Each structure stands twice: as C-alpha cells, then as structure tokens.
Amino acid sequence: METPDFGETKQLAEQDHAAAQINLGIMYKNGQGVTHDYTIAHMWFNIATANGYADAAKARDLLAKEMTAASITKAQEMARECLGSDYRDCGVK
C-alpha cells in the first residue's frame, strides 16, 4: 500500500473529508511523513468521528489508552477549536 502524501491528506482533511481526517490521525500517531504526535492524532480522530467516520472513534479510543488525561483534554480542546474555526486553527502551525 502506498503511503499517502501529508500535504494532500491535510488539504483534504481541512476540506471536511472524514477519510482524510482519519488518515491524518494515523500519520501523526505513527510519525508517518510528519512528527509523531498523539495529541494531534487524537484531535484528527475526534474530528473524523464528529464527521461521521465510525472507525475513527475506535482509533481514538485505542490511542487514548496510551495518553495522559491532560493530553486527551488538550486534544479535545484542539478539535473544538479546529472545527469552530472552519479548519483554520487546527493545532498545527
């Protein structure tokens, strides 16, 4: 399976594509083409879940087992900011 391009995946994720959002979460979780970051991965899994991608909730819940409560809270806040800003403020500058 070919590795997705980070830039293209991020662009699609910011256009409300739930499949791209879960893929972006996976990329951050695994450090695939981007710096490994569980908090940002959790954020994208949350967003994909909010957009109706059922498997994203499973991925988010599994990842949460590897995170601190503070990191999960931060990821949830970042997801709210991202969605509330229409994807202009998604925790990654």
Averaged over successive runs of 10 residues, the pLDDT of the chain (93 residues) comes to 78 94 96 94 97 93 97 97 93 62
Instruction: Give the pLDDT of residue 54.
Output: 86
Range of the domain at 78: 6-84
Instruction: Give the pLDDT of residue 57.
Output: 96
Whether 51 is covered by a domain: the verdict is yes
Instruction: Give the pLDDT of residue 3.
Output: 61
Q: How many domains does the chain have?
A: 1
Instruction: Give the pLDDT of residue 92.
Output: 63
Instruction: Give the pLDDT of residue 51.
Output: 92
Whether 18 is covered by a domain: the verdict is yes
Whether 21 is covered by a domain: the verdict is yes
CB contact at 8 A, 27 and 6:
yes
Whether 77 is covered by a domain: the verdict is yes
* Amino acid letter, 14: E
Whether 1 is covered by a domain: the verdict is no
pTM of this prediction exceeds 0.75: yes
Whether 90 is covered by a domain: the verdict is no
Instruction: Give the pLDDT of residue 19.
Output: 93
Whether 54 is covered by a domain: the verdict is yes
